[in-house]
Amino acid sequence: MIEISLSELNRSNFYEKTLQTIEQICEDFAIEKDFGSISMSNQMICDYLDSMQSDFNADVYFQIESDGITVQYSLQNGNFNSFASNEDGQNTALFVLQSLADEISFSPDFVTLISTFHVKTKMSIQRHVQNQGVRKNIFKYS
């Protein structure tokens, strides 16, 4: 597991720093084909923060594993309560976000939004190749 943390992001640097991190993760872990859905979900969250919060501070944590990527957005001031629902019972932004990510969840106080993408990173491919190499060596010398 690999963790990347971006701290104290605000209106002026949130989108640029998160997008750069998503680009780097997709390139480093050979999941370029998933860049669109991950970056678009990040854009949805950025748009929400821009429209609902006059000024915000957020921490963003990326957790990369062989079977997926989890992105956790934690607000230092404000919450995602209005993103999670509205008076009509249907929130278009949340619907789109749920279409892009495999899982969406909120902390009980709505301060944190967690999106999970089930993608196969090159971490799993490397482990598989390494394990096959070990098996070949065992059979070669026996």
Q: How far apart are the C-alpha atoms of 142 and 140, rounded to whole Å? A: 6
What DSSP state is assigned to residue 138? H
83/27: higher pLDDT: 27
Tell me if 115 sits within 8 A of 57, measured CB to CB.
no
* Residue 89 pLDDT class (50, 70, 90 cuts): low
Gap between the Cα atoms of 38 and 97, Å rounded: 10
Query: Residue 17: what residue type?
Result: K
* pTM for this entry: 0.80
Which domains are assigned to the chain? Answer: 2-141 (3.30.565.10)
59 in Cβ contact with 74 (< 8 Å)? yes
- What is the 8-class DSSP label of residue 4? E
Among residues 36, 12, 35, 33, which one has the least CA distance to residue 24? 35
State percent of the chain over pLDDT 70: 82
Residue 10 has pLDDT above 50, yes or no: yes
Given a contact cutoff of 8 angstroms between Cβ atoms, the answer to whether 93 and 44 are in contact is yes
